[in-house]
Amino acid sequence: MAAKPVLYYFNGRGKMESIRWLLAAAGVEFEEVFLETREQYEKLLKSGVLMFQQVPMVEIDGMKMVQTRAILNYIAAKYNLYGKDLKERALIDMYVGGTEDLMGFLLIYPFLSAEDQVKQRAFVVQKATSRYFPVYEKVLKDHGQDFLVGNCLSWADIHLLEAILMVEEKKSDALSGFPLLQVTYINNIF
Ligand SMILES: N[C@@H](CCC(=O)N[C@@H](CS)C(=O)NCC(=O)O)C(=O)O
């Protein structure tokens, strides 16, 4: 049996969280090494395995992969979550690009002051409900299928579900104007 992937990151969501989600959705067990002290991080740096001196780093299939997008692309392709042809893959990339931008507004959230967190929360909910969620709602409405691309579960659905839950943490009824997203991602998907 192949070794489990090993994830190296801080003990927080950050850039590793989508990798955890994608592996979990693919049914892949993984291990985690949390970098909890400066010494641990320095040790990893000195060992030379961090190509750009950054994490996330994932040991998988004999590789030490860095760059979040590259890691996600690899996992999505390996576990058939990346479309059946180039056009489906292009759509998945576009949808994931959108959810990535939306999640990007939340990555900085823990580092803001309490006052700025209130502003950022309102900003994120406004962007989610006026720019991003309407796109995915329309896709589902237009093709009438249960998933965003190719009528089967893909990375685009997994990433969108993660983004929806992140936004709902900030405003629990954020999906209230999006009936198809509610049915697909809250009632049906898993
Ligand atoms: N483009 C990289 C950026 C990775 C990145 O910014 N990692 C941060 C932690 S979230 C880091 O290692 N920062 C330390 C540094 O840049 O020196 C990716 O997406 O993986």
The Å distance, Cα 101 to ligand 1 centre, comes to 16
Answer whether 56 contacts ligand 1 (Cβ < 6 A): yes
- Whether 1 is in a domain gets the answer no
Q: Are 56 and 19 in contact (CB under 8 A)?
A: yes
CATH number at residue 59: 3.40.30.10
Residues 107 and 149 in one domain: yes
- Whether 167 is in a domain gets the answer yes
Residues 180 and 94 in one domain: yes
- Whether 74 is in a domain gets the answer yes
Q: How many independent structural domains does the chain possess?
A: 2
What's the pLDDT at 158?
97
Give the nearest ligand 1 atom to 50 CA: 12
User: Tokens representing 82?
Assistant: 């990346």
Residues 100 and 173 in one domain: yes
Q: What is the pLDDT of residues 61-120, one digit of tens each?
A: 999 999 999 999 999 999 999 999 999 999 999 999 999 999 999 988 989 999 999 999
Residues 107 and 133 in one domain: yes
What residues make up the domain containing 176? 86-188
User: In this structure, which residue's CA is closest to atom 16 in ligand 1?
Assistant: 54
Q: 8, 9, 15: which to mutate for ligand 1, most atoms within 8 A of CB?
A: 15
- Whether 112 is in a domain gets the answer yes
- Whether 58 is in a domain gets the answer yes
Domain final residue pick, 46, 78, 110: 78
- pLDDT category at 1 given cuts 50, 70, 90 is low
Nearest of 174, 180, 77, 189 to residue 131 by alpha carbon: 174
Domain final residue pick, 78, 111, 138: 78
Q: What is the mean pLDDT of residues 3-25?
A: 96
Residues 66 and 10 in one domain: yes
Give the nearest ligand 1 atom to 16 CA: 10
Q: What is the mean pLDDT of residues 157-162?
A: 98
Higher pLDDT, 188 or 182: 182
